[in-house]
Amino acid sequence: AQIRELALRNIETFRNSPDFLLALENFRDRLQEQDPQIQVYAINALVKLRDHDAISLLIEALNDANAQVQEAAHQGLKRLTFIDHGTDAKAWEQWRALHGRELPEQWLVDAMDAVEPLRRALAARALENIAGLVVNYHPDMSQQGLLRAKMTVERHFGFRR
C-alpha cells in the first residue's frame, strides 16, 4: 500500500505532462477488469490523482456487482465532489447533470462553507492534499478566517467570484 501511495505521488508530479493523461487513461481502463481488487485500486488512484473526468465512470461503478467496488466508487465520488449521495447512481447522475460543467475547484470552495459538516470536512481533507497550496482552514472556523481561506484557494486556482 505504501509503494502504491508513493507511486501515485510521483505520478502526480507529472500533472502537466502528456504522460499524466496516459496514466489516467490506464487507470480508467482498469475499471473494466474482472478482478474487483484491481477495480478498487484503479478507483483509488483516479481519486488520489483528482481525475474529475472519471466521475461518470465512478457513477457507473456504483452499479457493479461487487460491494467493495461500489463502496470505493461511493467514497471516491464523495472525495472528488464534496457531496454524498450514497450509492444511489440515479442521484449522482442528477447531480452531475446539474453541476458537471462547473469547475471542480468551485465545488471545493463551495464545500468550504457548506451547511453540512461532512462537506466541510471533505473540503478540509482535500485542501491538505493539494500540492503547492498552503491554506489555514478548519471546518468550524470563524467567518473572517473562512473568507481569507477561500480567497487563498481561489487565488491558488486562479479564479474569483
pLDDT band at residue 17 under the 50/70/90 scheme: confident
Prediction pTM value: 0.87
Indicate whether 13 pLDDT > 90: no
Number of neighbours of residue 150 by Cβ within 10 angstroms: 20
Angle at 84 between CA 77 and CA 16, to 5 degrees: 30
- Predicted confidence at residue 1, as pLDDT, reads 67
